[in-house]
Amino acid sequence: MSIESLSQLTDPACAPRVVFKVGSALLVGQDGEPRREWLAALVAEIAAARARGQQVIVVSSGAIALGARKLGLARGGRGSLSDAQAAAAVGQIALAGFWAELLAGHGLIAAQVLLTLEDLEDRRRYLNVTATLGTLLAAGAVPVINENDTVATEEIRFGDNDRLAARVGQAASANAVVLLSDIDGLYDRDPRLEGAVRVPVVREVTSEIHAMATAGSSSGLGSGGMTSKLQAAEIAGLAGIALAIIDGRPVAPLAAALAEERGTLFCPPGKARARKAWLGGRLRMKGAVAVDVGAAAALARGSSLLAAGVTRVEGTFSRGDAIAVLGPDNAVLARGLSEYDAAECAALMGRPSPEHEALLGYAPRSALIHRDQLVML
């Protein structure tokens, strides 16, 4: 059953599996201390969701903010990567402890899962995460997930838990991702401006929608901002998952916001097949190929990408790597897994298929990117 309204997010028939993402600014006060009472009230709402028959995954930020306070680090532990890594190592213990203790108060078992970007970008590791989350949920536990900030370096970091939550939603085949924010949704302009209006429902994240988002978080504790929330909505949408942004600030924020339809709901366009959803949600590409008008049109009709339509090859990639497909205007049209490495792509580009065997010296593949390994954006 597709999700068309925020209130459906509490309905186990529409949303049997939900990811709740809780930002640092909600969990940790400006003084660096955890907001225990607020968290206790949220956990009571999570327990109520469980009692209704919904499975719940929590993506919780706050490790860096909590750890920075304990270690006495400046700028909330975000002054440098090494500060953030050290702060997360200290804060994560406390963070997991709060969740475990409060969930146990409702008879629920917390399961800590720390993930890096690579755990979800690599197909094999992604499937492993999927299996583990499935086992935990089937056993009745509440996975409490954060990025493994202590080992993630700048290049391989999500950096924000919004996109992590969307990726986790994909990996867990969730029906919805709810981002608890310090604002009650997406506004049509900077929400501080007079006349700014909240957008209740978004059916497609267009360039106009992106233009509404202002980067940066107002609290200074988290790292997400509206831009990463829109990216999260796109990732979720590719997997057919609804995503909601609601105001997490009130005590017990879920019931009121969802019942009163106060937030922004991103309705997914349709359900993508699992492998394509994973591919579409990937954040890093190893390279790119540009294509001509004819190939772009063929891709739009659902065809595979043939080397004859390729005009340029960028980057160093191997067979099986994820690459971007750029249109004649250089906009990203699609992503897919390349059947050839970059040098082979360069040798074959612009050349018709019957010539490929002679160019390669071995039997060619049917396409440069097969349509089953390709997702249009």
Closest approach, Cβ 24 to ligand GLU, in A, equals: 5
63 vs 171, which CB is nearer to ligand GLU?
Answer: 63
Q: Would you state the structure tokens that stand for residue 106, as one six-digit string? A: 């409702």
Helix (H) or strand (E) holding 112: strand 110-115
Query: How many degrees, rounded to 5, is the angle at CA 128 between CA 374 and CA 369?
Result: 15
222 vs 263, which CB is nearer to ligand GLU?
Answer: 222
Task: Show contacts of 6-11: CB within 8 Å, 24+ apart.
Answer: 6/244, 6/246, 6/257, 6/258, 6/261, 6/262, 6/263, 6/265, 7/258, 7/259, 7/261, 9/176, 9/178, 9/242, 9/244, 9/258, 10/49, 10/52, 10/54, 10/254, 10/255, 10/258, 10/259
User: Does residue 299 contact residue 325 with C-beta atoms inside 8 Å?
Assistant: yes
User: Does residue 69 contact residue 88 with C-beta atoms inside 8 Å?
Assistant: no
119 vs 149, which CB is nearer to ligand GLU?
Answer: 149
Closest approach, Cβ 222 to ligand GLU, in A, equals: 4
Tell the residue number behind the tokens 């924020």, with chain if given.
253
Q: Would you state the structure tokens that stand for residue 226, as one six-digit string? A: 């509206």
**CA-wise closest residue to 238 among 166, 300, 161:** 166
Tell the residue number behind the tokens 């907001």, with chain if given.
35
95 vs 305, which CB is nearer to ligand GLU?
Answer: 95
What one-letter code names the amino acid at 342? A
Closest approach, Cβ 377 to ligand GLU, in A, equals: 24
Closest approach, Cβ 64 to ligand GLU, in A, equals: 3
User: Does residue 157 contact residue 168 with C-beta atoms inside 8 Å?
Assistant: no
Rounded Cα distance between 295 and 328, Å, is 10
Closest approach, Cβ 366 to ligand GLU, in A, equals: 42
76 vs 263, which CB is nearer to ligand GLU?
Answer: 76
Q: Would you state the structure tokens that stand for residue 284, as one six-digit string? A: 């890093």
Task: Show contacts of 196-202: CB within 8 Å, 24+ apart.
Answer: 198/264, 199/264, 200/261, 200/263, 200/264, 200/265, 201/264, 201/265, 201/266, 201/267, 202/233, 202/264, 202/265, 202/266, 202/267
15 vs 65, which CB is nearer to ligand GLU?
Answer: 65
80 vs 330, which CB is nearer to ligand GLU?
Answer: 80
Q: Would you state the structure tokens that stand for residue 105, as one six-digit string? A: 């108060």
Residues near ligand GLU (CB under 6 A) are 24, 61-65, 88, 146-147, 149, 160-161, 222-224
Closest approach, Cβ 156 to ligand GLU, in A, equals: 14
25 vs 288, which CB is nearer to ligand GLU?
Answer: 25
25 vs 241, which CB is nearer to ligand GLU?
Answer: 25
| φ, ψ for residue 350, nearest 5 deg | 75, -5
